[in-house]
Chains A and B, each alone.
Chain A
Amino acid sequence: MDILRPDSLEAARAALKNGSVALAGGTELVPLLRDRIVEADTIVEIRHAVPRGIQGTRIGAGTTLGELEVDPQIPDALREACRLAASPQLRAMGTIGGNLLQATRCWYWRLKYPCWLHGGGRCFAHEGLHREHAVFANAPCASAHPSDVAAALLALGATVRTDRRELPIAELYRLPTGDDRRMTGLEPGELILELEVPMPAASTYLKAMDRKRFAFALVGVAAARSPEGTRLALAGMAPIPWLLEDESALDEATPLPGNAYKLEIARALIRRALVAVAP
Chain B
Amino acid sequence: MARLIRTEKEVEGRYTEQWIVVDEDVLEQWPAGPLETVGRPVPRADGGQRARGEARYTADIKLPGMLHAAILRSPHAKARVRRIDTGRARRAPGVRAVLGPETGPLTDEPPYEGAPVAAVAAETSEQARTAVSLIEVEWERLEPLLDPEEAVRRNELIDEPNREERGEVERGLAESDAVVEAEYRTQTVLHNSMETHQAICEWDGDDRLTVYISTQFIWGVREEVAKRFGLPEDHVRVVCRFMGGGFGSKNGPGDYTYVAAELARATGRPVKCALTRREENLDSGNRNSTIQRLRVGARSDGTLTFLDGEFVNATGWDGWLASTGGPMRLLYACENVRTVEYGAKLNTPPMAAFRAPGFVEGTFGLECLLDELAAKLEIDPLELRRRNHSTHDAVDERPFSSKQLLECYRRAEPHWERRDEVRARSDATWKRGVGLASQVWYGGGGPPSYAWVRIGGDGRAAVITGMQDIGTGSATAMAQIAAEELGLPVDRIEVALGDSARGPYATISAGSSTIPSMGPAVRAAAADAARQLIEIAAQRYDREERVLSLKNGQIVSSDGGSWPLEEITGLLESGQILGKGSRGPNPTGMRVLTFGVQVAEVAVDVETGEVVVEKIVAIHDVGRVINPLGASSQVEGGIIQGLGHTLSEERLLDPSTGGNLTQTLDAYKIPTIADVPEIVTDLVDVPDEHLTNLGSKGLGEPPIIPTAAAIANAIRDATGADVRSLPITREEMLRALREASRQPAREEVGA
Shortest distance from the beta carbon of A26 to any chain B beta carbon, whole Å: 16
Shortest distance from the beta carbon of A145 to any chain B beta carbon, whole Å: 15
Q: Tell me if B55 is interfacial: C-beta within 8 Å of chain A.
A: no
A265 & B656 in contact (Cβ 8 Å cutoff): no
How many angstroms from the CA of A259 to the CA of B675 in the assembled complex?
24
B609 & A261 in contact (Cβ 8 Å cutoff): yes
B674 & A213 in contact (Cβ 8 Å cutoff): yes
| B672 interface neighbour in A107, A128, A214, Cβ under 8 Å | A214
Which residues of chain B (643-692) have a CB below 8 Å from chain A?
A: 647-648, 652, 654-656, 659, 661-664, 666-667, 669, 671-672, 674-675
| B648 interface neighbour in A87, A211, A216, Cβ under 8 Å | A211
How many angstroms from the CA of A218 to the CA of B608 in the assembled complex?
11
Interface string of B713-748 (1 = CB under 8 A from A): 000000000000000011100110000000000000
Which residues of chain B (605-635) have a CB below 8 Å from chain A?
A: 605, 607-610, 612
9 tightest A-B contacts by CB?
A268-B607, A261-B731, A107-B661, A212-B674, A213-B674, A265-B608, A128-B654, A210-B669, A210-B648
B608 & A268 in contact (Cβ 8 Å cutoff): yes
Shortest distance from the beta carbon of B562 to any chain A beta carbon, whole Å: 55
B731 & A131 in contact (Cβ 8 Å cutoff): yes
Q: List chain A residues, Cβ under 8 A from B662.
A: 107
Q: List chain B residues, Cβ under 8 A from A107.
A: 652, 661-662, 667
| A129 interface neighbour in B661, B672, B674, B729, Cβ under 8 Å | B661
Shortest distance from the beta carbon of B730 to any chain A beta carbon, whole Å: 6
Shortest distance from the beta carbon of A140 to any chain B beta carbon, whole Å: 18
How many angstroms from the CA of A208 to the CA of B654 in the assembled complex?
24
How many angstroms from the CA of A208 to the CA of B659 in the assembled complex?
27
A212-B672 CB under 8 A given contacts A261-B730, A264-B734, A265-B609 = yes
Q: List chain A residues, Cβ under 8 A from B654.
A: 108, 124, 128-129
| B652 interface neighbour in A124, A129, A211, A265, Cβ under 8 Å | A129
Q: Who on chain B is nearest to A128 by CB?
A: B654
Task: List 10 contacting pairs A-B, 8 Å CB cutoff, sorted by A.
Answer: A110-B667, A111-B659, A113-B659, A128-B656, A131-B729, A208-B608, A210-B669, A211-B648, A212-B675, A213-B672
Q: List chain A residues, Cβ under 8 A from B664.
A: 110
Shortest distance from the beta carbon of B256 to any chain A beta carbon, whole Å: 21
Q: List chain B residues, Cβ under 8 A from A127.
A: 655-656
Interface string of A116-134 (1 = CB under 8 A from B): 0000000010011101000
How many angstroms from the CA of A129 to the CA of B675 in the assembled complex?
25
Shortest distance from the beta carbon of A259 to any chain B beta carbon, whole Å: 8
Interface string of A199-237 (1 = CB under 8 A from B): 000000000101111111010000000000000000000
B734 & A216 in contact (Cβ 8 Å cutoff): no
Q: List chain B residues, Cβ under 8 A from A211.
A: 647-648, 669, 671-672, 674-675
Q: Tell me if A105 is interfacial: C-beta within 8 Å of chain B.
A: yes
Shortest distance from the beta carbon of A46 to any chain B beta carbon, whole Å: 25
Q: List chain A residues, Cβ under 8 A from B735.
A: 261
Q: List chain B residues, Cβ under 8 A from A214.
A: 672, 674
Q: List chain B residues, Cβ under 8 A from A158.
A: none
Q: List chain B residues, Cβ under 8 A from A29.
A: none
| B666 interface neighbour in A105, A218, A258, A264, Cβ under 8 Å | A105
Q: List chain B residues, Cβ under 8 A from A218.
A: 730
A128-B655 CB under 8 A given contacts A111-B661, A261-B609 = yes
Q: List chain B residues, Cβ under 8 A from A213.
A: 672, 674-675
How many angstroms from the CA of A211 to the CA of B647 in the assembled complex?
8
Q: List chain A residues, Cβ under 8 A from B608.
A: 208, 264-265, 268-269
Q: List chain A residues, Cβ under 8 A from B612.
A: 212
A129-B730 CB under 8 A given contacts A208-B608, A214-B672, A268-B607 = no
Q: Who on chain A is nearest to B133 by CB?
A: A36
Interface residues of B (CB under 8 A from A): 605, 607-610, 612, 647-648, 652, 654-656, 659, 661-664, 666-667, 669, 671-672, 674-675, 729-731, 734-735
> Max chain B CB contacts within 10 Å: which of A213, A214, A218?
A214
Q: List chain B residues, Cβ under 8 A from A208.
A: 608, 610, 730
Interface residues of A (CB under 8 A from B): 87, 105, 107-108, 110-111, 113, 124, 127-129, 131, 208, 210-216, 218, 258-259, 261, 264-265, 267-269
A215 & B669 in contact (Cβ 8 Å cutoff): yes
Contacts A210-B648, A211-B672, A214-B672 known; list 4 others, CB within 8 Å.
A105-B667, A108-B654, A210-B669, A261-B735
How many angstroms from the CA of A216 to the CA of B671 in the assembled complex?
14
B647 & A261 in contact (Cβ 8 Å cutoff): no
Q: List chain A residues, Cβ under 8 A from B666.
A: 105, 215-216
| A111 interface neighbour in B647, B663, B674, B734, Cβ under 8 Å | B663
Q: List chain A residues, Cβ under 8 A from B669.
A: 210-211, 215
How many angstroms from the CA of A215 to the CA of B605 in the assembled complex?
18
Q: List chain A residues, Cβ under 8 A from B659.
A: 111, 113
How many angstroms from the CA of A25 to the CA of B641 in the assembled complex?
32
How many angstroms from the CA of A128 to the CA of B675 in the assembled complex?
29
Shortest distance from the beta carbon of A54 to any chain B beta carbon, whole Å: 27
How many angstroms from the CA of A179 to the CA of B669 in the assembled complex?
35
How many angstroms from the CA of A129 to the CA of B607 in the assembled complex?
24
Q: List chain B residues, Cβ under 8 A from A265.
A: 607-609, 730, 734
A129-B671 CB under 8 A given contacts A208-B610, A265-B608, A268-B608 = no
| A261 interface neighbour in B610, B652, B667, B734, Cβ under 8 Å | B734
Shortest distance from the beta carbon of B740 to any chain A beta carbon, whole Å: 15
How many angstroms from the CA of A267 to the CA of B671 in the assembled complex?
26
Q: List chain A residues, Cβ under 8 A from B663.
A: 111
Q: List chain B residues, Cβ under 8 A from A264.
A: 607-609, 734
Q: Who on chain A is nearest to B653 by CB?
A: A129
> Max chain A CB contacts within 10 Å: which of B608, B647, B655, B666?
B608
Q: List chain B residues, Cβ under 8 A from A268.
A: 605, 607-608
| B730 interface neighbour in A111, A124, A210, Cβ under 8 Å | A210
Q: List chain B residues, Cβ under 8 A from A111.
A: 659, 661, 663
Q: List chain A residues, Cβ under 8 A from B730.
A: 208, 210, 218, 261, 265
Shortest distance from the beta carbon of B605 to any chain A beta carbon, whole Å: 8
Shortest distance from the beta carbon of B40 to any chain A beta carbon, whole Å: 35
A210 & B729 in contact (Cβ 8 Å cutoff): yes
Shortest distance from the beta carbon of B349 to any chain A beta carbon, whole Å: 15
How many angstroms from the CA of A215 to the CA of B649 in the assembled complex?
12
Q: Who on chain A is nearest to B652 by CB?
A: A129
How many angstroms from the CA of A272 to the CA of B672 in the assembled complex?
26
How many angstroms from the CA of A129 to the CA of B657 in the assembled complex?
11
Shortest distance from the beta carbon of A102 to any chain B beta carbon, whole Å: 12
How many angstroms from the CA of A105 to the CA of B729 in the assembled complex?
18
How many angstroms from the CA of A212 to the CA of B612 in the assembled complex?
9
Q: Who on chain A is nearest to B663 by CB?
A: A111
> Max chain A CB contacts within 10 Å: which of B612, B652, B654, B655?
B654
> Max chain A CB contacts within 10 Å: which of B605, B666, B669?
B666
Shortest distance from the beta carbon of A69 to any chain B beta carbon, whole Å: 15
Q: List chain B residues, Cβ under 8 A from A128.
A: 654-656, 661
How many angstroms from the CA of A131 to the CA of B729 in the assembled complex?
10
How many angstroms from the CA of A210 to the CA of B731 in the assembled complex?
10
Shortest distance from the beta carbon of B97 to any chain A beta carbon, whole Å: 24
Shortest distance from the beta carbon of B271 to any chain A beta carbon, whole Å: 23
Q: Who on chain A is nearest to B655 by CB?
A: A128
> Max chain B CB contacts within 10 Å: which of A107, A113, A208, A269?
A107
How many angstroms from the CA of A108 to the CA of B657 in the assembled complex?
12
How many angstroms from the CA of A212 to the CA of B661 in the assembled complex?
22
Q: List chain B residues, Cβ under 8 A from A259.
A: 731
Q: Who on chain B is nearest to A113 by CB?
A: B659
How many angstroms from the CA of A218 to the CA of B612 in the assembled complex?
17
Q: List chain B residues, Cβ under 8 A from A131.
A: 729, 731
> Max chain B CB contacts within 10 Å: which of A128, A211, A216, A269?
A211
Q: List chain A residues, Cβ under 8 A from B609.
A: 261, 264-265
How many angstroms from the CA of A196 to the CA of B654 in the assembled complex?
42
How many angstroms from the CA of A131 to the CA of B661 in the assembled complex?
12
B656 & A108 in contact (Cβ 8 Å cutoff): no
Shortest distance from the beta carbon of B1 to any chain A beta carbon, whole Å: 60
